[in-house]
Each structure stands twice: as structure tokens, then as C-alpha cells.
Amino acid sequence: MGRPRLVAGNWKMHGSRKANRDLLEGLVGEVPKVRGVACTVCVPFPYLGEVAERLKGTAIAWGAQNVSEHAQGAYTGEVSAAMLAEFGCRHVIVGHSERRHLYGESDAQVAAKFAAVKAAGMTPILCVGEKLEERDAGKTEDVVARQLDAVKFEDGVLAYEPVWAIGTGRNATPEQAQAVHAFLRKRVPADTSILYGGSVKSQNAAAIFAMPDVDGGLIGGASLVAKDFLEIVKAAYVKA
């Protein structure tokens, strides 16, 4: 059995009740036809309940984009892992570069979030990735190793997301992605799915997913358009 292939959509802070309904309508009937590829959508907190209802009994799982590292208490504006689990949440993105760099999340905080998600019985999708200046300085492996080693990684999904490729339209080449995935592969359990994220589109997905250590993708912008997201999910199947 190969490693599980997964395509995860990260809607970020996009959507509305109507836009979400339309997007999911375009996905639910089609995703079951893509056998061998699991699919999940990580949605903004207010929509979790509605999306969970719509996806009940379908082949599409759902998840959150962030979580508190604390179990409960006076943390205004935060959402705990137990709250997400109570709704049937499957995946939670932790350590996305927008959280690390816009909101100052530290490696230690990301590690605590990872542990909180696991303790609540959900699957964390841990993001690691270097900034452009770090790549240019030859520090890519140091950075992703530091981010990964901060976490007691097991039973999770790992996503390599070079910061310079996220939302920029400039994806890593398949070879660049493969090199970092191969490096990460040696540091995680053998059955870990490692996703690539960063400007994946229907046009470049197949080439990236064809790399031996790439097991699917974490998709931002292109996950907001049903047709594009479906093409990407299909591209993950081609590898099987």
C-alpha cells in the first residue's frame, strides 16, 4: 500500500454562505469519482457547522485553518481543539506561514497546537517552509528541519509550503519540491503523507504530484474554484 494521497483546500479568509454552497455543489458529486485521493476543505470558523452539514455522508472531509494551543479559558477570540472535534472536524492546519509570519506564531506555539489537535483525536496538517531570503542563503533545509523538529511529529500530515510560493503565482519547480520532500521524508514516519503547497494550479499540479515524495497538495487560491480544485484532485490520482 502506498502512502495516502490527499488534496486539501485552504479557503483562507474567503467565502460567504452562498459562495460556499455553490463551491461545494460543484465538488460533492465529482470528488467520489476520483478514487484513491482523499479530499478535505479547511474553512473559516463561522462556516464550519454549515459546511459539516453539507458534507455529511459525502467523500469530502472538512477541517479548520487554525486552533488555540490552550484547552479552555480566558482566551477571547480563540477556538479550542475540543470545540472543533465536537463538530466532527477531521483536519486542522497548524503552522501555516500566514500564521507564523503575520501573527507571530512561534515554533513552540505551533508545537503546542499540533499536540492539542492530536489530543482531541483530529489530524493536524503541519506546514513548514522557508522564506525567499532563507532559500537564497542556502538555509532551506535548516529552516524546515527546525520547524519540523520543534514538533513531536507522528500521525499527522506534513505540508511543505515555501513562503515565496504561497499566493504569488510562483510555484516551486517539481524538482525543488521533490528535493525538500525527500529531505523531510527521512525525518517522519514512513507512512506520512507529505503535501506540497504554493501556487498549485490545474496546469502545474500533475507535474508536481508526479514527484516520488509528493503525496498531494495543500491548495489556497485554486481551491475556491470548483473546476480548478477538481482538476487538481484528479492530478493527484494520476500518480497512483
Interatomic CA distance for residues 204 and 165, integer angstroms: 13
User: Between 161 and 213, whose beta carbon lies closer to ligand PEP?
Assistant: 161
- Answer positive or negative: Cα dihedral of 134, 140, 142, 146: positive
What is the closest distance, in whole angstroms, from the C-beta atom of residue 98 to ligand PEP in the complex?
7
For residue 96, indicate whether it is catalytic.
yes
What is the closest distance, in whole angstroms, from the C-beta atom of residue 199 to ligand PEP in the complex?
4
Mutual angle of helices 140-149 and 107-119, in 10-degree steps: 40
Catalytic option among 69, 98, 130, 161? 161
What is the closest distance, in whole angstroms, from the C-beta atom of residue 87 to ligand PEP in the complex?
22
Of 31-39, 53-61, 73-81, 218-226, the window that binds ligand PEP (rule: CB under 6 A) is: 218-226
Q: List the alpha helices (DSSP H) in the chain.
A: 17-28, 48-55, 81-86, 97-102, 107-119, 132-136, 140-149, 174-185, 205-209, 226-238
34: cell is 476520483
For residue 50, indicate whether it is catalytic.
no
Q: Does 166 bind ligand PEP (CB under 6 A)?
A: yes
Catalytic option among 96, 105, 130, 181? 96
Pick one of 162, 221, 232, 233: the residue that binds ligand PEP (CB under 6 A).
Answer: 221
51: cell is 459546511
The residues that touch ligand PEP, with contacts defined as CB under 6 A, are 10, 12, 161, 166-167, 197-200, 218-222
